[in-house]
Amino acid sequence: MSKIKVKTTLVELDGDEMTRVMWEMLKKRLILPYLDINLEYYDLGMANRDKTEDKVTYESAYAIKKYGVGVKCATITANKERIIEYKLKHEWPSPNATIRSILDGTVFRSPILVKNLQPGVKAWKKPIHIGRHAYGDVYKNQEIAVPGAGKAELVFTPADGSAPIRKTIHEFNAPGVIQGIHNTDASIKSFAKACFEYAYDQKVALWFSTKDTISKTYDNRFKDIFQAEYDGFWREKFKKAGIEYFYTLIDDVVARIMKTDGGMLWACKNYDGDVMSDMLASACGSLALMTSVLVSPEGHFEYEAAHGTVQRHYYKYLKGEKTSSNPMALIFAWGGAIRKRGEMDGTPDVVAFADKLMKASVSTIENGIMTGDLIRVVDPSPSDRQVTTEEFIDAIGMTLDRMLK
C-alpha cells in the first residue's frame, strides 16, 4: 500500500505518563505506516519542560500558530508532589493554560458515541458538544480572606484620570471571603464567534446559557455580545443551514438537555463548561471517550484528549504490568487533527483516511473488543475478554487495513 501524502506540516506535542506510552504505540501502528507526513515534534514531557525552562511549551504554541493545526498528548500540570517526583526547578504552569493564553479561543468537547454504550440519559442519541470559554472569570480571579470587620469595595480606576467607579460589595462585621473576577469584550466576542463557527461547521444548533437574571451586568454582557454576533453575521447563514441559535437561562438548559436527543452545541461560560463537560463525559460512559479541541479566533486548531495522563495506570506499567488503558480519545485527537489538516490543505484523501481511522476505532468497540474501562459499562457485556492497550490498538489497525483495501 502506498502512503497518503499530507501536504503541510502537522505540529505534534508529546506529553507524559500513560498517555505518552499510548501515543508512541498508536503513532507506530495507526499513523506512520499509512501517512507520508511531516511532524514538527515538541516534547512537552515534564522532564523536557523543566530542562528548557518551559520554552518548549511556548515554541509549540507558536508552531501551531504558524502551521495552523497541532495534536497534543496529555501533560502533567506541576504541583508540589511533581516537584519532588521530577526534581523540578520550578512549579511550571499548566501547559494547556500557556497554550490557551497564546492561541486564545474556545475549547470544544464532544463525546465519542458507540452503539453498545448507552448514555446515562436514555434520550441522548446524538453527541452533545460543549463549547467552553477558556478565558477569565474565576480562573483569573483575585481573592482575599477577610480577617475581620471592614468594608469590601469594587473599584475601577479609569486610565484617563477621570473619577473612579466604586461599589460596596459588603460591610463585614466578622471574617469572610471576597473575590474579584473579570472578562473582556474582545475575549467574549471571540468566544461567540468561535461557537457560531463551530456550530455552523458541524451543522448543529447553538444553545447559549448564562445566569443573567442574577448577574445583570456581567452575564448580560455575554448575552448581548452573542446576540450581536448572531444578528450581525449568522442569522441568514443559520437559516439556510436549517439550524437555530437561542439564548436561555442555564437552569433552563440543564432541564431541557435531559429531554433532547442531543445534536447541539452548548456554549458555556468558563466555569459552567468546566463542570458540565465533566458531567457529560461521565454520563457518556468514560473519560476516555471525550475529545477536545481548542479553536482560536484566527482559525488555529489544537486537538487533544479531554482526560489527563492516566497516572495510576502508568505506575502499573512501570512495574512491568500490561495495562488496559483506553487510547480512543488520543486516536480521535490524531484523527481530528489529520482531518482538519486535510480540509485546510484541500486533500480529500487525507480527510478520508482520518474518517476511516476514527470509524475503525468505533467499530472495533462495537464488535466487542475493548479496554477495561468500557467492559464495565457496555451493554450487552462482550463475551470477549478485556484486551490490553496494545492489543486494542492492533485490533483497530487490522480493521483499518480492511477498510483501506
Nearer to ligand NAP, 85 or 261 (CB): 85
How many residues of this chain interact with Mg ion, rule: CB under 5 A? 2
Residues between 79 and 98 with contacts to ligand NAP, criterion CB under 6 A: 96
Candidate segments 24-32, 61-69, 71-79, 154-162, binder of ligand NAP by CB under 6 A: 71-79
Q: How many residues bind ligand NAP (CB under 6 A)?
A: 17
Residue 75 touching ligand NAP (CB under 6 A): yes
Q: How far apart, in Å, are the Cα atoms of 392 and each of 117, 245, 359, 404?
A: 17, 40, 14, 18
For the bound state, the minimum distance from the C-beta of residue 115 to ligand NAP, rounded and expressed in Å, comes to: 20
Q: Does 274 bind Mg ion (CB under 5 A)?
A: yes
Directed axis angle between helix 218-229 and helix 185-202, to 10°? Answer: 50
Minimal distance, residue 276 CB to Mg ion, in Å: 9
Beta strands in 161-229 (DSSP E): 165-172, 176-180, 205-210
Tell me if 195 sits within 8 A of 255, measured CB to CB: no
CB of 392 to ligand NAP, least distance (A): 10
In the complex, the smallest distance separating the C-beta of residue 290 from ligand NAP, rounded to whole angstroms, is 9
Nearest CB to Mg ion, comparing residues 4 and 305: 305
User: What does the radius of gyration of the chain's CA atoms come to, in whole angstroms?
Assistant: 23
Residue 19 CB, nearest approach to ligand NAP (Å) = 7
d(CA 86, CA 94): 15
Count the neighbouring beta carbons within 10 Å of the beta carbon of residue 219: 18
By a kind-dependent CB cut-off of 5 to 8 A, residue 274 interacts, out of Mg ion, ligand NAP, none, with Mg ion
Within 10 A of 320 (CB to CB), how many other CB atoms are there? 6
278 binds, among Mg ion, ligand NAP, none (CB under 5 to 8 A by kind): Mg ion
* Residue 33 CA neighbour count, 13 Å, CB half: 14
d(CA 91, CA 80): 7
The interface mask with ligand NAP, positions 274-313, x = CB under 6 A, is -------------xx---------------x--xxxxxx-
Of 73-81, 183-191, 196-204, 247-255, the window that binds ligand NAP (rule: CB under 6 A) is 73-81
Question: Least separation, in Å, of the C-beta of 327 and ligand NAP?
Answer: 7
**Residue 137 burial (10 A CB sphere; 0-12, 13-18, 19+):** middle
Type of residue at 50: D
Among 59, 197, 278, 391, interactor with Mg ion by CB under 5 A: 278
Report in angstroms how near the CB of residue 78 gets to ligand NAP at its nearest.
8
Of 273 and 297, CB closest to Mg ion? 273
Torsion sign, CA atoms 258, 262, 265, 271 = positive
Distance CA 271, CA 136 (A): 9
Binding site for ligand NAP (CB under 6 A): 74-77, 96, 287-288, 304, 307-312, 325-326, 373
Binding site for Mg ion (CB under 5 A): 274, 278
